[in-house]
Structure 1
Amino acid sequence: MAQPAGPAAAATGSVDWARVRADFPLLHRAVHDRPLVYFDNANTSQKPATVIEAMDGYYRRYNANVSRAVHQLGSEATEAYEDARRRLARFLNVRADELVLCSGTTFAINLVAYSWALPRLKPGDAILVSRMEHHANIVPWQLVAERTGASVRVAEIRRDGTLDLDALYAAMTPEVKLLAVAHVSNLLGTVNPVRAICREAARRGIVTVVDGSQAVPHRKVDIPAIGCDFYAFTGHKMCGPTGTGALWARRGHLETMPPFIGGGEMIREVSFEGTVYNDPPHKFEAGTPNIAGFVGLGAAVDYLDALGMEAVEAREAELLAHLTAALGDIAGLRILGTAPDKAAVVAFLVEGAHAHDLATLLDLEGVAIRSGQHCAHPLLQFYGVAATCRASLAFYNTHEEIEVFAAALRKVRGLLG
């Protein structure tokens, strides 16, 4: 398949961010007769034209099911689907046969919960999770604990939003069989030292699951260097389509884990006397996958790879510094999460204003942010708040948008008294 063009860069190698922004069609629309300012990137990212065109090309030129037909269309579809797996593997520095393609992080973590944890845990065992986890990295472990008699323990955080590492390591007692931790917090932007955490867990024989949903889109991720057992991420946050993502797992785990869902493609031979399963990762990919979505995700990986994740991280750090300074000038505004070297996510409250009211009025100014509990109820309970606003940036955002956002926030702050 033809490779999509990457983003524009100047001859010196520095990225022309204005030309990059032009690659994203949706960013040029208006909302309520105002230019859109899209600051909800932690929720989902926008898509470059190359991703949209790749999906359109699949449906127009070689729409067929994968791994089943020997005709030309089926061969082309299968090659495109498996090529997306290979591109993702190169992007993360892993083997393609260690990547299970799935609908996203939620499915990936549930796969670990039901296929690895459920057959192994027993009464007296413990699962350790951090306070800052997304619900997708809490609820599956609670469900497994209920069925096995294991318990879920919480690793607490400090007020600045960083993990209390001393307490975390002290909590890694012999009963703990699995540790689940976010690489980057979806609400606070805290970047956890997952390499050090996984190293300490491995020394104690604890299996590690890292939620990479907010890391893979914004920084270079080298999974082998992290040293975890499982790493989950979502495609729609990294400029790819919704309904895509993957679970990386050590090959030894994949070979010993039973299938999570049964059906077509995950089998080698079926009879009423028994079934022989396919080799992993296909053993975990029952049914017709989101083929067009993964074609698009492959294009998204190419786009980010051509841009350079170091450039992405540097650009977003620059934007975050501007945003943090701009918000600091607004009376009565409180930021949750002030960890050093955090990702470009700012959760905030404004005194006397409900988060939903702020977000609704900002929308009328053309500014899209998220408000609510952000699938992080235990984290908000720690801070003693019911809801927050969250502004989350991506490399295609601009300094001018930050100024527009700050002005709009001052305006609605005045309206709310």
Structure 2
Amino acid sequence: MAKKRANGEGSIRQRRGGRWEGRLTYIDLNTGLRERVSVYGSSWREARDKMLEVQGRVLAGGPARDSTLTVAEWCRQWIAVSLRASSRRASTRDLYESLLRLHVMTSSLGKVRLDRLRPSHVEMWLIELRGETSITSSPPQEVPRKALSEASVIRCFQVLQVAIDGAVREGLLAANPVRKVKAPTLPRREVRYPSTSEVEATLAVLRGTRFYELFALLATTGMRKGEATGLRWADVDFEDRAVTVRGTLTRTSEGLRVTEVKTYASRRRLHPTEDVMNLLRAAQRRRDVERLLAGELWEEHDLVFATEQGRPLEPRTVLRVFQTAARDAGLQDATVHALRHTAATTMLEGGTHLKAVSQILGHAGTQITSDLYTHMSEETARRALDVLGRMLGVIESSETVPTAPVSRRSAGGAKSASAHERWTRGLSADTAANVDGRCWSDHMRGRC
């Protein structure tokens, strides 16, 4: 008597024409309804293998079948719902949407169905982003395409991975093929950051401009550019000689806006020097004059650093001003963020505790400060090796090789003399007498 099949085990039958069909009934976890799925194969074994695959997906909590939505269709849905509902900052949401629309939905990858998405599709898409080829038809054809920088390629890859993770969460995919692709990385390269004298020279060039106070604050506190340009007068306490970092100036779809800092550690209270606070007082007096001169053109944002009409400073303008001043000071390829690295290194070399430097910079932990934002200056490196040389007693070398071995244990050389005797033991008196100190020295070094 045939054994009765258990619930959910499924059945296999041969159809007219010779093909085999496997049927499986299961409960959809999203709807709670009973669903049925059929798989087909040219043989009983092939139909059984496909049915077992479906059973495994269902038991693992995944969908019986992957969705037939294209990558572009899913990205459009993810942007409209999941991305908009997320707690990400407005600037981050705008960036994710822009990357998906420009580099995923309009690419060949965007036309691939989710149920047919493979790691090889993602790898070919990465090749497209790098400008090496563009797959527009089958067979593939190479079409000229503007290449993205490796940093942009990495951002696109990360956003695609997050979006497809959403498809897995929604039950449209059993697994994320993007996660099976090795993530692109930026090669580590040695970057030179300005010394304190170079920063001082750059500030000297900026002295007398409306940007001097901004860069003086950045150089002496290690603040991020967005934190300084987003600083409000309400966050400046002249009595306690303090500024509180609460927000950062970022670009959103609505323009430049001051948004909350990313992490709890980034929200901090700093105490600039009295000279810097005096510079801020001068900036406040200039703000009052400019507000009177601007009249109705004035826009009140309560920003410490703003244009003549009170509007937020354009980040590209801030960068251009700093790079121009740095070149005039003899510093090439400088960035505003380099001031932050110099500040961290200078504080640590001055004896400030790593934990204190980490808190001043607004890091979540000291590991970030230690790994990314500390760089030993050339002068410190020289001093360190000078100290090591003196401690080891290293003096100028001499071309003269000693004619007799020098003992390490006694000034009289008794141990070395006995070793010399053992080495020449068995030689004739004339031969032993001809063994000089140089040959002995070479023997001890393994060269004789």
TM-score above 0.5: no
Largest Rg, 1 or 2: 2
Structure having the larger proportion of residues in helix = 2
Please give the TM-score of this superposition, normalised by the length of structure 1: 0.21
Question: Which structure would you say has the larger RCO, counting Cα contacts within 8 Å and 6 or more residues apart?
Answer: 1
Please give the TM-score of this superposition, normalised by the length of structure 2: 0.20
Structure having the larger proportion of residues in strand = 1
